[in-house]
Amino acid sequence: MEEKNTEESVSQREQDVRTERARRIRGILLILSVLAGIGLGLLLARNKPASSGEKLFQAEGFEITLADRFLETGDRGEYDRAYRSNRESLLVLELPFAEEPGLEELSVEDYAAKLTETHPGAELSRTQEGIVFLEYEEEGEFCLLSVSRGSGAFWQFRFSCKAGNRDKYREDFLKFAASVTVR
Per cent of the chain over pLDDT 90 is: 69
Rounded to an integer, what distance in angstroms lies between the CA atom of residue 147 and that of residue 144? 10
Q: What is the pLDDT of residue 39?
A: 66
Give the DSSP letter of residue 50.
P
pLDDT at 22: 82
How confident is the model over 35-88, as pLDDT tens digits? 776 766 665 555 444 456 999 999 999 999 999 999 999 888 999 999 999 999
Output the CA torsion sign for 40, 41, 43, 44.
positive
Q: Which among 133, 116, 124, 113 has a CA at the least distance from the CA of 174?
A: 133
User: What is the CATH superfamily name and number for domain 54-182?
Assistant: Mog1/PsbP, alpha/beta/alpha sandwich (3.40.1000.10)
**Spans of the chain, pLDDT less than 70:** 1-8, 10, 37, 39-52
pLDDT at 21: 86
State the pTM of this model.
Answer: 0.72
